Structure 1
Amino acid sequence: MSPTLSPSPSPNLSRSRVTHLSALLASSFHNDPLARWMIPNERLRTELLPGFFRVFVELSAAHDGVLTTPDGDAVLLFLPPGAEPDEAALDAAFTEALGEHADALRTISALQAEHHPHGPPHYYISFGAVRPGRQQGGLISHLLTTLLARADAEGVGAYTEASSPGGEAATRRFGFDRLGGDLELPAGGPVLRPMWRDPR
C-alpha cells in the first residue's frame, strides 16, 4: 500500500489540523443541499460553516473518530459504538458557531435522533470530504474501507445518512442498504436517507 494513502487515526489533533480539516469540510459541503437549507445565505454559509464543522471535528477527535490521509487532503468523521456526546455542551457549541441558524440544525438533529438505530452497536459516520483537485482518486474510499474493516473485525455495524443521490450510491458500493424511510426536512427542505451496513 502506498504510504501516502495510509490513513491516520487522530485522537489528539493539533489546533492547526482542526482548522485545516474544518475548512476542508466547509468547502466540500458549501453547496450541499443540507447546508443550503440550514444557512440559505451564501455569504453567511461561507462565514459560518468552518465553525460548524470545527464542532464536529473536535467531537469526533474526542472519541478517536477522525481518519485522514497523512497530507490532510481527505477526512472521514465518525463516532464509535458506545460514544455518548454531551448533548447540552454540543448545543451550546453549535449555537455559538451558528447563531440564529442553530434552530435549523436542531430541526435536523431532532429528525436524526428520531430515526437513529438504537439496537445493535455500530459506527456512526457523519461526514467525509476530499480536497478539490484530488477527488475521484479513491482517497475517501480508502478511509471508508479502513473504518469498515475495523467494524467488521469488531463484529459491529455501520450507519450513516446520505444527503444526496451520489452519497447514497457511494455507500451502496460499500454494502450499505436503506434503513427505514427518508428523513424529510420541512418547508420543502432536502431529504436524508438512512443507510445501514451489517458487519461482514
Structure 2
Amino acid sequence: MPNAVRIIRIPGTPTVPLRKLKTFGIHDLFGRANNPASLGTSDDNKTWLAWRGVWGILDGAAYVSDLSANGQKIAVAQSYASDGRIEAQFSAIDAAGDGSAGIILRGQDINNHLIANNAGGGKLRLWKRVNGAAVAIADGPAAVGIIGSGDVLSVEMNGPSIRVYKNGGLAIDVANAPEFAAATLHGPALNAAGTRVTRFDFTAAV
C-alpha cells in the first residue's frame, strides 16, 4: 500500500493522554504583585477562594482590603487532604487587636468548618462552626496567650485528634473533634485591616 503509515508501539507507554495529577497541600509566601482584589493562586498553584471579605496581596502578605462584610473574613484553598500540619505566620496583628486572626481548617463551606484563632480572655481557642453556629471546643492556657505580630500559629490534624501550637509550643490538645473529618479546604482568617499573613503552609499527611 503506497504511503502507508506504520505505527510502532513501545511496550509500557500509555495509549491515552496523561492527566494532570493532584498535588496535596497548600504552600504560599504571597510574594506576588500587589493586588487589592484577589489572592490569586498559591505558590503550588492552588486557587484561593474568598469566602467572606475582599482579600488581596500587599507587599508580600495576604490581607483583607475590604472589611465591610459582617463576620469573620475567610479565604481557603483546596488541599485535597484533611490530615496534616498547617502553619500560618502573621507578620502583623492589627494594633487594635484582631480577635479573629487564625486558621480555618477542614472547611466544607462558610457555615461548616473548624477554627483555631485568638479569642476573648487573651487565649487561643479551637471552635467548630456547624450550620453557621460557632461552638467552642477548647481553650489554650492564659500563660500561652494569643498570637501577635511575628508569631506562628500551627495546627496538626490526625483524624479526630487536633493539636494547636503557638511558636511550636503546644497550646490545645483535643483527642475527639470528629467534625468535618473528610473536608479538605483550609486557609487564614482575619478581621482587622492591619493584620497580615506572610506564610501559609499545609503539609498533608498522605
The TM-score normalised by the length of structure 1 is 0.29
Q: Say which structure is richer in helix.
A: 1
Relative contact order, higher structure (CA 8 A, sep 6+): 2
Larger-gyration structure (1/2)? 2
Please state which structure has a larger fraction of its residues in strand: 2
